[in-house]
């Protein structure tokens, strides 16, 4: 007879689960509310989800306190892994989500926000990402990833335009393929080591001294492919521009931040131990991926005629830029990754929100696409403040000091310099120069051209409500005065990254 | 002859390759989804086999999760497919290329 | 004494500024009178200083203030009045006073009357700085200053294309020489650590000959520019575009002699490097005859005088080069007087002839313009160097110096040139004042110039006559700081033969000129007579084709090359490369954007292709890793 | 206030600019002038408080910015930066006062005030990153000025200006990061403080690489041949005020940076690369002067002439001795004044005729005598006539470099010839001859406002030409300090030989002069 398995509750320490469970509860709660009383106004759901996110954030603060006291802690049969990376990335995830969700409060009505399911799915997605980053178990990563992705596909589709369906289908199909790659890679690792926990895999491989390296590499190849898809590294990026264009500007901005940071954390867990144990192949491959992604995406961004699509390519390029951190793999580089992403998140959210508030229901005929450049011509005359803040975000994205992203770029390049990647550092620097052109192009349109006829500045703020203005204002101020809070942020990040052994 | 682990792995790999080819070749969205299903299930076979080989359940767990996810994927996928069909009256990939460049 | 120094130096500046106040106004007489008076003050104070020096007073040396001081470099505004500079001051102030007064009349009808005096006084000021400075930098200030003023005065009638062109030519040519001068100054500084004359000359004694030679050459290049020595001589003739008083003051009496002054001032340098001196002397002799030959056939009154100036400068350099610095200075002085007189006379004639310059269109003016005729004739006599006028003593001294120093070639060249000088100057006099009255053909009614203009000229006339007699006193004074070599031809016989011979030679030349150009029905050169078609004549008439050559082989290529640099290099190469790089980046975007053709299958293919590429890499790498030991 | 005068100088214009948005557009110009005057007064105060006897940095301020990474907000001025700051305040004041653009003048003035912040910031920053911040930030207002108020090609010109400089300075940033890293390796702590970097002695090959990295950034800014082609476009398209500030101040950033960074940090590299750089400078001098001679547009003439003069400044800088460096710094001031004035003068005629083609003019001296006079004065200053401000600088620069190389100085000296050629030619085309064009027959001469801007510049041109001492002395002090530093920290024998220590020299000259008396 089998003996009953008894597990002591504290050995589980459920607290580790709290941050992930809160959004789930929130989602269910919203659904329940909808059950009892349907067609409530979206504002209710917005505020509700905001509340739950706030609680989530509080929980994170709590667990970060725990981490500072007694370092990394495992939980739930050692499936959960709450280390510095997990906490930092969750901070970014939840924080960005909190910035995003109020963007639903447009004064034009958009299809998706009228469904409470939208917000439920949104919260599910968040918990998915949180699971993804807070474990080193390949299964849980897979589950988290897919939960999040499936929710995301739906959210995109809910925008309910032809383009958004197309986008969703493309994203979905490629996502499915990526999932296949992931599971195949995981399978090989399992076959090699008999474990699906990254930590153990690492130890086992180190134990037998990478006896059959060939298979390891094959496994890494498949995992790399699937994450390159998530991180939109060339040539796995092809979904990015279309999906960004298809989905609403707000959602696009969100996609350029949250899923990627989750993917980055996993990539960090998966690949850095390999790099440190001297798998030269991976180093070479990553080097190529990074450089190609940065450069090619920049070059394609140059030739775009639609601002949103341009921003899509630029996000791809930024992702490549940050991927360099994983290639370099030093503590400074990893901290740089988080710093960069924090700064990037509100700069990018800001710029996408600018597009979001200028979103028209139907296009005037002189306008080829939603956010074509000429739509912004002469903006300085019609909507000076909007133009100025948009220019601000562009300059920040271009890495012009003292605006937010410059510090990220600088620290990242510095980490490359410190680890002896001189050429890489130069390539990164020059890429910023190339990128300068397309950000400048928008500024040129806004400040140096004459407005298109019948364009009084109203269009640029047609969606603006107080909430949106607040978000943008916050982003703008953060972009300018980033340097003021830079030092504490960096120290916080560095200590967390360092204490979790990266 | 004795059917060993490697046979399973080879089988799974072959299936996986078939899946890949299908993904690349198929122009019909539905068949495309089939192809992805093949991909995932090829992995399941391997997991099951390996898990039996090592004699621990993790692999099978993984397999179950994969099945679950595959199922939900199909749910979402079909949903999208239906919407698309409603709009365009076909499920041909080549029709969905309004965004390019 | 210092107060006089400052008076002498700054009153012209005040005058200039005063006149400058009126530049935009229409003609106001005070703008001419006040500067003239101030110049007279300057003249008086310089003469006081002269007396002071003559009575064996110590040189007056003041240091007004610091100009530049950095590192070890220390340049003050310092001025010294010693025997040499006081001589120059006298020359400058006398001539310029005369010219100022004269100009009040001469520029009477010119609408830019006031501007003229502003420039003129400014020139005098710079010239005084040049001669009074106690260091090379200060000298350079004056050096450039006179250049600027001559630019402004040559181009005074800037509506005339030729005038503004000549002005620029003069400025740029001088700039070329100034570069040499600048380099010379640098050399002086880095080798002696200072630019003060006294310190520098001390330090020179300790330097090796090569350095000194280098310094000497570069400084002399500067001198060549200002004194229009070959090959930088073309600007002087063109400079005659300026108003005649300007020619008299700047391009005869003062500025052009600055080069000579520089050499005399640096005598301690040049006496250390005799071979450079010899080169200078030879160049001087060459220029003397070279310029004189061009004067022979020229048909422009002012240009003729300009060429003679050039040739006289040659004389001075010859003397200076041979170490006879005091002689050079003496000839400089004498020449200043009679040449200025000659120019002013020419000015009267131009007035009379309504700015006609071709002497062949004049003739017989003597009847209407007696005074002018007398003055110009005497000036020409002095120029020709006939006893007892100034020219005789100075020029004779130069010839003797050349003879005594046993440079017989130079001597004979100079001697021959003396003949030429006599010829062309009296050719001019004859053509203007004697012979038949050709001007009647052009319906001109000549008239004598204002009285006060003639009066103003008289001091120069006086000096042109008597300057020679001052020779000894001058010698006593100046040799206090200049090497006092007395040139005595020891055998009296040779001396007398030489002197008489020279005089006779000159007289003959004069008579020949008279005979040739006063005969009734003398053929006016019109390109028909066979003499005019001889190669030699053409050569001289076209100034040895040198201006042509400069234009053809320097100016035009420079212009072409500049245009080429701009259109071809700067735009088509340098800039094109920059834009090219940008273009390549952009185009590569345009080319490859089709990778995103929007078709889902293509996207999936890209993913698979990427994976397979990675896979291939992986397999290769894995195999190499596995069979590394097998391979070796 | 004394301790924070620099911060005040930097941020006062920026704040004033912010408030400027509130001013009614009719009175904005007065506001701009007022702010300009106050700023200038403050800068004079700085000069007044400045202790000319001290060679080192003064009015130092330090606020931690990113201390864990060694980035601090450090300010300070020495004799070299002091006068450029005063100049920038002065030029901005003059510029705003003589502003003629009417379309949305408010934006223009606000932009100018922000630009002023960046300029003062660059010249008073003593931390690499802070320097870089202002250096980059200065591009934005200029981009806007050129792009929004410029000529037909303005957008092309402004983007070219921005991207070209941006690209160059990013390489410079990498250099800075390396510098900080080496400092970290040497001392175990990060620092971007320039004064810390001065203490760092690097092996020669590293010096060479870093020198090149910085060089690219600076050379594009200066601009040095062959990186100069953005300048003619920028000047050709920019409005008058833009050209004035660009030529007078922004270009100086490059040359200033050479003295602030390249020389003291990489003495051996500076010596090693002296000859090639000098050759580039000579190409700049002669080649661009000839290009200027070929121009048809008077503004282009002045634009190319600035490149040519920058060549002389570079020559002086790389003389690596006190004479040369003080000369080049002084020439920066001089060129600032003169080129500024020349661009203003071009603006005067452009406002009247809306063309800058010289063929459109001729005989202007008849109709606009005052204008012709001032132009003539500035022309003579620009060709470096003694007793004008330029001569002091050019003379000292060339004099200084003569110690390093005779033949190269001879070539560089041709500046005084070629300069005279294009300038006089341009002057002749515009002012001499008869008035041919009908529309030129009765152009109004310079008016009160224009005189208001031009007279002070003319006065400075003469005053500092005759009596440069008050400016030259502090410059000299700091130059001596820099040369001494270079001499002390240079490692190769050649460098030791090429860079004479001012101290020893002072003694030697003492003795020699005693010998003379």
Q: Which residues of D touch C153 (CB under 8 A)?
A: none
What pLDDT sits at residue D504?
A: 64
Nearest Cβ partner for C604 among B23, B96, B100? B23
Residues 6+ apart with CB under 8 A from A100: A250, A253, A254, A349
Expressed as residue numbers, the domain containing A225 is 12-358+369-499
Chain A positions touching D148 (Cβ under 8 A) are 447-448
Query: Over pLDDT 70: what percentage of chain C?
Result: 99
pLDDT of residue D509: 46
**Which DSSP helix (H) or strand (E) runs through C79?**
strand C73-81
Write out pLDDT tens, residues D301-314: 999 999 999 999 99
Quote the CA–CA distance of C321 and C316 in Å, as a whole number.
Answer: 8
Q: Nearest-CA residue of chain D relative to C140?
A: D386
The whole-number average pLDDT for the span D31-44 is 95
Question: Measured between CB atoms, does C527 come within 8 Å of chain B?
Answer: no
Whether A42 has a pLDDT exceeding 50, the answer reads yes
CA nearest A418 in D: which residue?
A: D181
**Is the CB of residue D283 less than 8 Å from the CB of residue C565?**
no
Cβ contact (<8 Å) for C606 and A239?
no
Q: Report CA D375 to chain centroid distance, whole Å.
A: 21
C608 touches chain B (CB under 8 A): yes
pLDDT-derived band at D516, boundaries 50, 70, 90: very low
pLDDT at residue D514, as a whole number: 43
Whether B100 is in a domain gets the answer no
Q: How much is the ipTM here?
A: 0.92
Q: Which of A215, A242, A285 is closest, CB to CB, to C614?
A: A285
List pLDDT tens digits, range C252-298.
Answer: 889 999 999 999 999 999 999 999 999 999 999 999 999 999 998 88
pLDDT at C1: 81
A340 touches chain D (CB under 8 A): no
Interface test with C, best of A225, A298, A316, A440 (most C CBs within 10 A): A225
By the CB < 8 Å criterion, does A186 face chain C?
A: no
Q: What integer pLDDT is reported at residue A272 of this predicted model? A: 87
Q: How confident is the model at residue D170, as a pLDDT?
A: 95
Q: Pseudo-torsion of CA D188, D193, D197, D198, nearest 10°?
A: -140
List chain D domain ranges.
273-466
> Alpha carbon A357 to chain centroid distance?
21
C-alpha angle D251-A407-A400 in degrees, rounded to nearest 5: 40
Half-sphere exposure of C342 (CA within 13 A, CB side): 34
For range A373-387, the mean pLDDT: 89
A448 reaches D (C-beta below 8 A):
yes
Is C607 within 8 Å of A178 when comparing Cβ atoms? yes
Subunit contact C190:D402, Cβ cutoff 8 A? yes
Pairwise CB contact (< 8 Å): A157 & B9: no
pLDDT category at C538 given cuts 50, 70, 90 is: confident
Query: CA triplet C508, C509, C514: central angle to 5 degrees?
Result: 95
| pLDDT on residue D511 | 44
To probe the interface with B, which of A76, A162, A167, A169 has the most B CB atoms within 10 Å? A169
Residues C597, B23: C-beta atoms closer than 8 Å: no
Q: Comparing C-alpha atoms, which of A150, A151, A85 is closest to residue A119?
A: A151
Q: Give the mean model confidence (pLDDT) for residues C590-604.
A: 89
- Which residue range is the domain that position B66 belongs to? 5-92
The CA-based diameter of chain A, rounded to the nearest angstrom, is 85
A256-270, C442-456, C587-601: which is most confident: A256-270
Average pLDDT over residues D76-88: 94
pLDDT digits (tens, 9 = 90+) for D143-191: 999 999 998 999 999 999 999 999 999 999 999 999 999 999 999 999 9
| Chain A residues with beta carbon closer than 8 angstroms to that of D67 | 487
What pLDDT does residue C535 have?
Answer: 87
Which D residues in the span 174-193 are in contact with A, Cβ-Cβ below 8 Å?
174, 177-178, 180-181, 184
How far apart (Å, rounded) are the C-alpha atoms in residues A456 and A452? 9
- Any domain includes A2: no
Beta bridge partners of C284: none
Contacts of A443 in chain D (CB under 8 A): 143
pLDDT score of C539 more than 50: yes
CA distance C112 to D255: 44
Q: pLDDT band for position D505 (50/70/90)? A: low
Mutate to test the interface with C, among A302, A305, A430 (most CBs of C within 10 A): A302
Cis peptide before C611 (omega within 30 of 0): no
Contact (CB<8Å) C599/B99: no
Task: Name the band, by pLDDT with cuts 50, 70 and 90, for residue A54.
Answer: very high
The DSSP code for A440 is H
Q: What is the pLDDT of residues C95-124, one digit of tens each?
A: 999 999 999 988 888 888 999 999 999 999
Q: Please state, for a pLDDT cut of 90, what percent of chain D lies above it.
A: 83
C615 CB within 8 Å of a chain B CB: no
Encode pLDDT of A388-411 as tens digits. 999 999 999 999 989 999 999 999
- Spans of chain B below 50 pLDDT: none
B97 CB neighbours in chain C (<8 A) are 597-600
Total count of domains within chain B: 1
Q: Report chain C's mean pLDDT, rounded to a whole number.
A: 90
Instruction: From residue A484, give the alpha-carbon distance in Å to each of A393, A408, D73, D127, D285.
Output: 18, 14, 11, 16, 45
Q: Could you tell me the CATH number of the domain that includes residue B41?
A: 1.10.287.3510
Supply the mean pLDDT for chain D: 92
Query: Any chain C CB within 8 A of the CB of A271?
Result: no
**Neighbouring subunits of C (3+ Cβ pairs under 8 A):** A, B, D
Cα–Cα distance measured from residue C119 to residue C13, given in angstroms and rounded to the nearest whole number: 10
Contacts of A296 in chain C (CB under 8 A): 592
Strand pairing partners for A238? none
Instruction: Note the pLDDT of residue D517.
Output: 40
| Subunit partners of chain B (3 or more CB pairs within 8 A) | A, C
Contact D31, D111 (CB under 8 A): no
pLDDT by residue (tens digit) across C53-72? 998 888 999 999 999 988 88
Q: How does residue C594 score in pLDDT terms, banded at 50, 70 and 90?
A: confident
* Residue C61 burial class via C-beta count within 10 angstroms: exposed 0-12, middle 13-18, buried 19 and up: middle
Q: Using one digit for the tens of pLDDT, what is the confidence trace for D270-303?
A: 999 999 999 999 999 999 999 999 999 999 999 9
Q: What is the DSSP string of D484-497?
A: HHHHHH--SHHHHH
Q: What is the pLDDT of residue A266?
A: 95
Per-residue pLDDT at C445: 83
CA distance B1 to chain C (A): 30
Residue C624 with chain A: CB contacts under 8 Å = none
Question: What's the pTM value of the predicted model, to 2 decimals?
Answer: 0.94
**Is the CB of residue C591 less than 8 Å away from at least one CB of chain B?**
no
Q: Is residue C631 scored above 70 in pLDDT?
A: no
Cβ separation of C596 and B23 shorter than 8 Å? no
Record: contact B39-A173, CB cut-off 8 A: no
* pLDDT above 50 (res D249): yes
Whether the pLDDT of residue C527 is over 80: the answer is no
Least Cα separation, residue D127 to chain A (angstroms): 14
Which residues contact residue A314 at a Cβ distance below 8 angstroms, ignoring those fewer than 6 apart?
A297, A298, A301, A397, A435, A438, A439
Q: Is C593 on the interface with B (CB under 8 A)?
A: yes
Q: Which pLDDT score, from 0 to 100, does residue A1 have?
A: 57
Task: Report the residue of chain B nearest C609, measured CA to CA.
Answer: B24
Inspect the interface and report whether the beta carbons of A180 and B81 lie closer than 8 Å. no
Query: How much is the pLDDT for D209?
Result: 95
How far apart CA A225 and CA A236 sit, in angstroms, is 7
E strand segments, B1-101: none
Q: Do C598 and B100 touch (CB under 8 A)?
A: yes
């Amino acid at each position: 007879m089998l003996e009953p398995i008894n597990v002591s509750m504290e050995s589980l320490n459920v607290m580790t689960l709290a941050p992930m469970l809160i959004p789930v509860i929130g989602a269910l709660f919203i659904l329940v509310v909808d059950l009892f009383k349907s067609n409530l106004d979206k504002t209710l759901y917005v505020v509700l989800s905001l509340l739950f996110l706030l609680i989530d954030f509080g929980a994170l603060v709590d667990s970060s306190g725990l981490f500072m006291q007694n370092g990394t802690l495992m939980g739930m049969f050692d499936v959960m892994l709450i280390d510095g990376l997990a906490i930092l990335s969750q901070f970014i995830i939840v924080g960005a989500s909190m910035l995003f969700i109020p963007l639903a409060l447009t004064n034009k009505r958009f299809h998706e926000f009228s469904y409470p399911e939208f917000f439920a799915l949104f919260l599910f997605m968040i918990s998915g990402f949180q699971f993804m980053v807070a474990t080193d178990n390949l299964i849980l990563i897979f589950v988290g990833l897919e939960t999040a992705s499936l929710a995301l596909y739906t959210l995109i589709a809910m925008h309910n335009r032809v383009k958004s369906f197309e986008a969703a289908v493309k994203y979905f199909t490629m996502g499915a393929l990526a999932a296949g790659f992931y599971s195949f890679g995981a399978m090989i690792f399992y076959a090699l080591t008999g474990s699906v926990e990254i930590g153990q895999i690492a130890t086992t491989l180190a134990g037998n001294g990478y006896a059959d390296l060939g298979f390891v590499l094959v496994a890494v190849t498949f995992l790399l492919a699937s994450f390159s898809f998530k991180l939109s590294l060339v040539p796995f990026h092809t979904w990015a521009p279309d999906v960004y264009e298809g989905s609403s500007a707000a959602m696009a901005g969100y996609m350029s931040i949250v899923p990627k940071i989750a993917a980055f954390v996993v990539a960090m867990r998966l690949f850095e131990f390999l790099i440190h144990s001297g798998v030269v192949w991976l180093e070479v491959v990553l080097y190529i991926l990074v450089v190609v992604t940065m450069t090619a995406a920049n070059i394609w961004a140059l030739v775009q005629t639609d601002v949103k699509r341009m921003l899509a390519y630029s996000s791809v390029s930024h992702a490549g830029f940050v991927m360099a951190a994983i290639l370099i793999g030093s503590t400074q580089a990893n901290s740089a990754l988080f710093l960069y992403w924090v700064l990037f998140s509100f700069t990018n959210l800001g710029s996408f929100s600018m597009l979001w508030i200028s979103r028209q229901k139907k296009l005037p005929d002189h306008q080829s696409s939603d956010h074509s450049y000429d739509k912004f011509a002469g903006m300085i005359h019609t909507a000076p403040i909007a133009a100025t803040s948009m220019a601000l975000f562009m300059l920040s994205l271009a890495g012009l000091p003292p605006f937010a992203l410059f510090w990220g770029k600088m620290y990242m390049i510095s980490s490359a310099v410190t680890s002896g990647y001189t050429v890489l550092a130069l390539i990164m620097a020059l890429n910023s120069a190339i990128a300068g052109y397309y950000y400048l192009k928008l500024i040129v349109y806004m400040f140096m051209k004459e407005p298109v006829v019948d364009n009084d500045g109203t269009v640029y703020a047609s969606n603006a409500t107080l909430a949106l203005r607040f978000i943008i204002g916050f982003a703008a101020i953060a972009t300018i005065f980033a340097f003021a809070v830079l030092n504490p942020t960096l120290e916080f990040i560095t200590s967390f990254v360092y204490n979790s052994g990266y | 002859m004795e059917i060993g682990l490697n046979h399973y792995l080879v089988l799974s790999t072959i299936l996986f390759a078939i899946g890949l080819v299908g993904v690349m070749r198929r122009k019909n969205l539905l068949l495309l989804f089939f192809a992805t299903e093949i991909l995932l299930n090829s992995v399941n076979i391997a997991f099951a086999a390996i898990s039996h080989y090592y004699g621990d359940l993790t692999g099978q767990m993984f397999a179950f999760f994969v099945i679950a996810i595959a199922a939900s994927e199909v749910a979402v996928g079909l949903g999208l497919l239906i919407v698309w069909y409603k709009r365009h009256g076909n499920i041909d990939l080549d029709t969905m290329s309004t965004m390019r460049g | 004494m210092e107060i006089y120094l400052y008076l002498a130096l700054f009153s012209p500046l005040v005058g200039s500024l005063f006149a400058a106040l009126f530049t935009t106004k229409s003609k106001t007489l005070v703008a001419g009178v006040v500067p003239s008076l101030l110049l007279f003050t300057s003249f008086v104070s310089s003469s006081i200083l002269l007396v002071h020096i003559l009575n064996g007073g110590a040189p007056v040396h003041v240091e007004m203030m610091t100009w530049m001081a950095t590192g070890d470099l220390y340049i003050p505004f310092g001025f010294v009045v010693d025997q040499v500079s006081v001589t120059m001051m006298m020359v400058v102030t006398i001539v310029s006073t005369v010219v100022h007064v004269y100009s009040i009349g001469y520029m009477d009808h010119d609408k830019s009357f006031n501007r003229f005096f502003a420039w003129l006084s400014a020139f005098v000021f710079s010239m005084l700085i040049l001669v009074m400075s106690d260091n090379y930098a200060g000298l350079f200030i004056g050096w450039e200053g006179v250049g600027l003023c001559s630019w402004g005065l040559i181009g005074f009638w800037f509506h005339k294309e030729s005038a503004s062109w000549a002005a620029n030519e003069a400025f740029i040519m001088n700039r070329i020489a100034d570069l040499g001068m600048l380099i010379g100054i640098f050399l002086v500084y880095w080798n002696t650590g200072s630019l003060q004359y006294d310190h520098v000359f001390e330090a020179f004694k300790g330097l090796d000959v090569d350095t000194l030679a280098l310094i000497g050459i570069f400084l002399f290049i500067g001198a060549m520019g200002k004194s229009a020595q070959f090959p930088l001589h073309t600007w002087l003739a063109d400079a005659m575009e300026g108003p005649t008083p300007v020619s008299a003051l700047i391009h005869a009496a003062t500025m052009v002699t600055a080069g000579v002054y520089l050499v005399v001032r640096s005598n301690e340098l040049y006496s250390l490097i005799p071979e450079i001196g010899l080169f200078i002397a030879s160049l001087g002799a060459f220029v003397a005859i070279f310029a004189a030959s061009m004067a022979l056939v020229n048909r422009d009154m002012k240009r003729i005088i300009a060429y003679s100036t050039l040739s006289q400068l040659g004389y001075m350099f010859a003397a200076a080069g041979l170490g006879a610095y005091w002689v050079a200075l003496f000839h400089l002085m004498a020449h200043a007087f009679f040449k200025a007189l000659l120019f002013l006379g020419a000015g009267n004639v131009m007035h009379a002839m309504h700015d006609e310059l071709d002497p062949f269109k004049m003739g017989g003016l003597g009847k209407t313009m007696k005074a002018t005729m007398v003055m110009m004739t005497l000036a020409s006599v002095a120029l020709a160097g006939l006893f007892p006028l100034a020219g005789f003593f100075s020029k004779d001294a130069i010839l003797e110096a050349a003879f005594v120093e046993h440079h017989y070639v130079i001597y004979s060249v100079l001697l021959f040139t003396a003949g030429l000088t006599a010829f062309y100057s009296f050719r001019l006099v004859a053509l203007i004042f004697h012979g038949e009255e050709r001007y009647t053909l052009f319906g001109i009614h000549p008239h004598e110039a204002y009285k006060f203009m003639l009066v103003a000229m008289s001091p120069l006339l006086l000096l042109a006559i008597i300057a020679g007699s001052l020779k000894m006193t001058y010698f006593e004074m100046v040799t206090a700081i200049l090497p006092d070599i007395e040139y005595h031809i020891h055998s009296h016989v040779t001396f007398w033969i030489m002197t008489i011979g020279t005089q006779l030679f000159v007289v003959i030349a004069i008579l020949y000129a008279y005979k040739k150009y006063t005969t009734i029905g003398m053929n006016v050169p019109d390109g028909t007579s066979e003499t005019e078609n001889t190669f030699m004549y053409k050569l001289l008439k076209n100034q040895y084709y040198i201006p042509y050559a400069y234009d053809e082989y320097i100016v035009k290529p420079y212009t072409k090359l500049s245009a080429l640099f701009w259109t071809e290099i700067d735009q088509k190469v340098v800039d094109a490369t920059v834009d090219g790089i940008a273009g390549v980046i952009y185009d590569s975007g345009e080319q490859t954007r089709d990778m995103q053709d929007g078709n889902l299958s293509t996207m999936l293919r890209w993913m698979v292709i990427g994976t397979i590429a990675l896979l291939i890499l992986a397999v290769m790498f894995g195999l190499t890793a596995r069979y590394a030991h097998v391979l070796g | 206030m004394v301790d924070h005068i620099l911060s005040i100088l930097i941020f006062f214009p920026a704040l004033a600019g912010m408030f400027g948005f509130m001013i009614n557009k009719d009175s904005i110009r007065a506001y701009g002038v007022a702010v300009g005057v106050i700023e200038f007064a403050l800068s004079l105060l700085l000069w007044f408080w400045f202790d000319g006897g001290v060679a080192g940095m003064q009015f130092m301020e330090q606020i931690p910015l990113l201390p864990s990474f060694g980035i601090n907000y450090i300010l300070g001025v020495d004799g070299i930066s002091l006068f450029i700051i005063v100049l920038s305040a002065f030029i901005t004041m003059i510029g705003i006062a003589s502003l003629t653009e009417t379309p949305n003048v408010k934006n223009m003035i606000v932009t100018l005030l922000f630009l002023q912040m960046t300029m003062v910031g660059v010249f008073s920053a003593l931390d690499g990153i802070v320097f870089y911040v202002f250096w980059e930030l200065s591009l934005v207002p200029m981009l806007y000025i050129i792009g929004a108020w410029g000529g037909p090609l303005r957008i092309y010109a402004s983007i070219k200006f921005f991207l070209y400089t941006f690209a160059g300075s990013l390489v410079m940033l990498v250099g800075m990061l390396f510098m900080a890293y080496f400092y970290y390796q040497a001392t175990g702590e990060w620092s971007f403080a320039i004064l810390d970097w001065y203490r760092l002695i690097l092996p020669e090959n590293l010096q060479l690489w870093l020198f090149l990295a910085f060089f690219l950034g600076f050379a594009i800014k200066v601009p040095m041949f062959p990186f100069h082609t953005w300048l003619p476009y920028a000047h050709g398209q920019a409005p008058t005020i833009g050209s004035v500030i660009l030529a007078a101040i922004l270009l100086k950033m490059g040359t200033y940076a050479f003295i602030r960074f390249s020389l003291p940090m990489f003495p051996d590299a500076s010596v090693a690369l002296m000859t090639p750089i000098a050759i580039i400078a000579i190409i700049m001098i002669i080649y661009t002067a000839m290009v200027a001679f070929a121009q048809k547009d008077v503004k282009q003439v002045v634009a190319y002439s600035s490149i040519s003069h920058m060549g002389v400044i570079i020559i002086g800088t790389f003389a690596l001795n006190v004479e040369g460096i003080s000369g080049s710094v002084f020439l920066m001031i001089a060129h600032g004044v003169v080129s500024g004035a020349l661009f203003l003068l071009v603006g005067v005629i452009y406002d009247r005729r809306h063309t800058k083609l010289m063929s459109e003019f001729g005989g202007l001296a008849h109709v606009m005598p005052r204008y012709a006079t001032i132009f003539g004065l500035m022309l003579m200053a620009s060709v470096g006539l003694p007793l004008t401000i330029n001569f002091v600088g050019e003379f000292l620069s060339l004099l200084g470099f003569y110690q390093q190389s005779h033949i190269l100085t001879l070539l560089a000296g041709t500046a005084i010839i070629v300069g005279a050629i294009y300038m006089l030619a341009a002057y002749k085309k515009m002012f001499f001859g008869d008035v041919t064009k009908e529309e030129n027959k009765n152009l109004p001469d310079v008016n009160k406002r224009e005189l208001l801007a031009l007279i002070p510049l003319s006065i400075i041109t003469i005053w500092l030409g005759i009596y440069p001492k008050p400016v030259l002395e502090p410059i000299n002090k700091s130059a001596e300090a820099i040369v001494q530093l270079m001499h002390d920290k240079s490692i190769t024998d050649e460098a030791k030989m090429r860079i004479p220590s001012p101290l020893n020299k002072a003694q030697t000259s003492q003795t020699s002069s005693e010998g003379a008396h």
